[in-house]
Chain A
Amino acid sequence: MTTPQMPTQQPSPPIDLDRLIACPNCDALYTTPTVESQDKAYCGRCHTVLIAPRRKAGKQLIALALTVLILITAATLFPFLAIDAGGMHHDASILQTAFAFEGALLGLSVAVMMFIVVIPMLRLILLIYVLTPIIRDRPPARWAKRAFGLSEALNPWSMAEIFALGCAVALVKLSDLAQVQYGPAAWLFAILVVIVVVTDSLMCRYSIWKSLDQ
């Protein structure tokens, strides 16, 4: 663990702003530390992770993003859960799940579709668009800054992994009433939760913004 150092005195003007970093959560100001790959720089006051570079993170992020895109597409189209009760069989895909809300609740169907399919996919496509030129050592894509900004803004509204856990809760609730079958997409969703966690740990926002600033 590394905590960056505070600039101890007023830097004499002109201040070299490029060498400073401000904590987004508490405004503490630091001289930007040199952080080795795998190491992390935390804010000494509120412990927010400021810099966490990883070697080859870009390539890994693109690979994970592509995997998740394929998983979500598959789970959207194919039935991912099925139940049997009293000789009856019924299965559902994500598309059917999102549109479970009808009539006055139709707006909620649209919102659910956005949270579990549209926003996660859009975010990943933007991420791939931003990172691809960077890992090939090319100049950043034309709209890279806007794209990454949008991807960051969408982050809290991307809820695919929460939906995945919702599947598990629903299965527990139903297990008394009916025979539940885990469709293949239920497994895909379990993988998805793991990937989302790994992606978060690989992503160093500071490094990405810095590499776009050329």
Chain B
Amino acid sequence: MEVSGSVTTARDMGLVGCTRCYSVSSRGTAHCPRCGSALQSRDRLSLQKVWAWWLVGLMCYIPANLYPMLETRTLVSVQSDTIVGGAVDLARHGNWGVAAIILVASVLIPVVKFVIVAGLALGVWLGPKVPEGQRHFWYEIVEYIGRWSMIDVFVVAILSSLVQLQALASITPGRASLFFALSVIFTMLAAKSFDSRLIWDTGQSDIASNRRTPAVDVKGDLSA
């Protein structure tokens, strides 16, 4: 069965929903009676926090690309590689696959994350140009892939602890690893600070007239 009708939000009903345990309280309740977390219908400082974390994250991402990520010492040479430099080097040696993985994980994904988070915040701020469903999709993408960027830092740690073959070869982590880790942490905090309920608020006021209300599939008798 499909029921079409406009979406009622907790705020519309003078209520406030808990984002941690999904329970509902009346407006003005300070703490959720079920789980104890602080209740806010919308996080008013959300956008300021997002921009603050976003900016520090970006500031850390620049040195993460300029400083060397790894220093490799062998019998014949000492070589320090930046993220991009290391990938170019691998590609030159014919390791196209690994080079592509590094470029996607360490360059493409972080840059895309910065763009998406900025886009989400701008969408709330200036009014949306993209439908809510699509913006929510990008929000979930950032939430999901954000923490996986830390894989680079772990790879550096594993390589440096494993390749300790005295004079023959040794790998030590470079300064970029610290900046890269900080950049990942700050972008995660930026995404966490974003109150995704704001995506749907702007949609309701601006696109209400020509927007088709979501179809709700109801199977069986759900509400007793």
User: A-side interface residues toward B, CB under 8 Å?
Assistant: 1-8, 10-11, 15, 17-29, 31-34, 44-46, 50, 81-83, 85-86, 88, 90-92, 96-101, 104-105, 107-108, 111-112, 115-116, 145-146, 148-149, 152, 156-157, 159, 162-163, 165-167, 169-170, 172-174, 176-178, 205-206, 209-210, 212-213
Taking the complex as formed, is B20 at the interface, i.e. its CB lies under 8 A from any CB of chain A? yes
CB nearest to B174 among chain A residues:
A105
A170 contacts B159, C-beta separation under 8 Å: yes
A116 contacts B154, C-beta separation under 8 Å: yes
Contact sample, A vs B, 23 pairs, CB 8 Å cutoff: A1-B219, A3-B218, A6-B5, A6-B8, A15-B13, A17-B24, A25-B196, A27-B197, A27-B201, A28-B7, A29-B8, A33-B223, A46-B200, A88-B166, A88-B168, A92-B162, A108-B181, A112-B153, A146-B36, A162-B147, A170-B158, A205-B21, A210-B21
Taking the complex as formed, is B150 at the interface, i.e. its CB lies under 8 A from any CB of chain A? yes
Given contacts A5-B216, A45-B7, are A86 and B168 in contact (CB under 8 A)? yes
CB nearest to B156 among chain A residues:
A100
* 8 Å CB interface, B167-196 against A: 168-169, 173, 175, 177-178, 181, 185, 188, 192, 196
B173 in complex: contacting residue of A101, A116, A178, CB < 8 Å: A101
Interface flags for B133-170 (1: CB within 8 Å of A; 0: not) read 10010010000001110110111111111111110110
Q: Is the interface of A mostly helix, strand, loop or mixed?
A: mixed
User: B-side interface residues toward A, CB under 8 Å?
Assistant: 3, 5, 7-13, 15-26, 33-37, 41, 95, 98, 101, 133, 136, 139, 146-148, 150-151, 153-166, 168-169, 173, 175, 177-178, 181, 185, 188, 192, 196-197, 199-201, 214-220, 222-224
